[in-house]
Chains A and B, each alone.
Chain A
Amino acid sequence: MISMIVDNTEIVKVKIADMAVLKDNGLIITVGLGSCVGICLYDEISRVGGLAHILLAESQQFKSRDGAVNKAKFADTAIPLLLEKMEKFGGKRSRLRSKIAGGSQLFVFKKTNISVGEKNVETVRRTLKKLNIPVVGEDVGGSHGRTMRLYIDSGRVTISTVGKGEIEI
């Protein structure tokens, strides 16, 4: 991730297979969600917010050759890790709400029944459910890329797309 200060506001940019957590104020942004999924978690009491940008669904299938798992890369490992980080900042699991975006299919592949994007969204939902974190907003699927922004002071999440402007979820 890359962090910078613009007009007294901390802006953290989350790359692919990456995550960040902020408290009280600031903005976390991730650019270019295609089949990837962005997951925002927010605790409105402690005002702790986190964003993870996952590339693939499940870590089990894709262990690297040295056996190490880059937890931030996969939905099933990134979300528990994000939760852990948020708890360190004072976030409470029972108060967390999530908003998700991405999982689109930019290229129309005819070869598979279920796209990488759909699989990612499905695994994100399943992992959140297992952790009892409700999904309160989403903008998933379709065939276009998205940029996701999480405003830490309010928990507001916006999605922007090429040529379609910005929406709040």
Chain B
Amino acid sequence: MEERKIDSNRLDVLKELANIGVGNAITSLSQLLSGEKVDMDVPAAFLLPLQDVPASLEGEETAVVGVYIEGKGDVNLTILFVLSLESAANLISALLPGSAGDFDEMGISVLTEVGNILTASYLNAISIMTNLQLLPTPPEVAVDMAGAIISTVLAEARVIDDEIVLLKTSLNTRQTRIEGSILILPDAGALEKIFRILGLT
């Protein structure tokens, strides 16, 4: 158990990686929204018992939209972009002029594309900082209970560990009224590699 403990120094490094990566992703989102300002919180890094991961999203039973992407390559990580139903509808109508923001085929494909763009810019930033090659899998979109989405993501990632590192950033826009969170779950092996490259072993 001892070796899995992460000190605050390492959590700070992860926060910084999330900060730069998500910062990059948010710039891309702003470009998609014709230059509208996107505000983001300072990313938070948590070391959580597996059981407590679902509660990291407010309202486990609340219906939300989840865009799920895996980053694969030299290291593996899971990215989940979570939006309230209203925010997702606002995002769809902002990008599809004239649309009512429904979660139909077009709406879902808009969300998928946003997931693609956010993740590609996030992974790019990580690759540049760490020199690790990372490619995103095609995004998957689900509209369901927050708790069901996040526990499914944990199961899909086949989590071995009982303590999970979770990076969380919240973002929002004023004009288009989009509020969401980006969650990043690195594999345990990914963290060790990243720390080694950054000289933190």
Contacts and interface: CB of A to CB of B under 8 A. Distances in A.
> Do A and B actually bind?
yes
Contacts of B142: 106-107, 143
A107 B60 contact: no
Range, interface on chain B: 35 or more
B161 A64 contact: yes
A147 interface: yes
A88 to B, nearest CB: 22
B140 A36 contact: no
A108 B140 contact: yes
Interface stretch (A4-12, A26-34, A41-49, A76-84): A26-34
B21 interface: no
B187 interface: no
Interface string A15-58: 11110000000000001111110000000000000000001100
Contact of B151 (A55, A66, A163): A55
A162 B160 contact: no
A32 B156 contact: no
Interface string A84-108: 0000000000000000000010111
B186 interface: no
Given A162-B63, A162-B144, A32 B162 contact: no
Nearest to A54: B155
Interface stretch (B23-31, B50-58, B117-125): B50-58
Contact of A55 (B4, B141, B149, B155): B155
Interface of A: 15-18, 31-36, 55-56, 62-66, 70, 73, 104, 106-109, 116-117, 120, 143-147, 162-163
Interface of B: 1, 3-4, 50-55, 60-61, 63, 66, 68, 140-152, 154-156, 158-162, 188
